[in-house]
């Protein structure tokens, strides 16, 4: 493959996309552990409904707490939302989550001096209370505590996140 990037401006990170309600597909899972040794899955979710943000990514960390620990209820909710067993004694294989579809409400949070997208609420695609897809026209907020650098706009850039990967699941597999 040959590309001429002579007239292309280099950017080191990608801005967040608009808040709203989107359809997502789980596109990548990395099994790891928290600092405390609790099993955790780093989940990459890609916008899958047809819109300007198609293919944009949001990241979730799903921690497998003991059933009586704080956070266990979210893990149970996540498993239900992506169509996995969630009641009783649950054995899980996170790789079975690949291509799972769900609906998510996207918002923003500040992290290390920059604004990033986050999934604020989520629903299974068949939930009766799942909202319709909608995209906010509100401006994307600026960081409250930007990390100054020597680069042009005063915000720290970089990291390992690729916010605009265009991974796609074939249309016939997407329920949106």
Backbone torsion region of residue 68, taken as left when φ is above 0, otherwise alpha when ψ lies between -120 and 50, otherwise beta: alpha
**Ordered domains of the chain (ranges, CATH):** 20-127+143-161 (2.40.50)
Question: What is the DSSP secondary structure assignment for residue 8, as one 8-state letter?
Answer: P
Each residue of 86-120: pLDDT tens digit? 999 989 899 999 999 999 999 999 988 889 999 99
In order along its 176 residues, the chain shows pLDDT tens digits of 888 888 888 776 778 999 999 999 999 999 999 999 999 999 999 999 988 899 999 999 999 999 999 899 999 999 999 999 999 998 989 999 999 999 999 999 998 888 999 999 999 999 999 999 888 888 888 877 776 554 444 333 333 333 333 334 445 566 76
pTM of the model: 0.76
pLDDT at 10: 78
Phi and psi angles of residue 76, each rounded to the nearest 5 degrees, phi first: -60, -45
The rounded distance, in Å, linking the Cα atoms of 24 and 100 is: 8
Each residue of 72-90: pLDDT tens digit? 999 999 999 999 999 999 8
């Amino acid at each position: 493959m040959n590309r001429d990037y002579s007239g292309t401006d280099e950017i080191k990170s990608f801005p967040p996309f608009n808040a709203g309600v989107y359809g997502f597909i789980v596109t990548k899972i990395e099994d790891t552990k928290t600092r405390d040794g609790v099993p955790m899955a780093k989940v990459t979710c890609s916008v899958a409904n047809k819109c300007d943000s198609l293919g944009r990514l949001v990241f979730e960390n799903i921690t497998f707490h003991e059933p009586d620990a704080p956070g266990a209820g979210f893990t149970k909710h996540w498993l239900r939302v992506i169509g996995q067993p969630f009641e009783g004694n649950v054995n899980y294989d996170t790789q079975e989550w690949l291509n799972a579809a769900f609906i998510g409400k996207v918002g923003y949070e500040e992290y290390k001096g920059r604004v990033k997208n986050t999934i604020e609420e989520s629903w299974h695609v068949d939930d009766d209370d799942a909202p319709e897809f909608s995209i906010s026209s509100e401006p994307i907020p600026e960081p409250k505590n930007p990390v100054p650098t020597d680069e042009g706009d005063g915000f720290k850039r970089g990291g390992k996140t690729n916010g605009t990967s265009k991974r796609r699941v074939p249309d016939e597999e997407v329920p949106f």
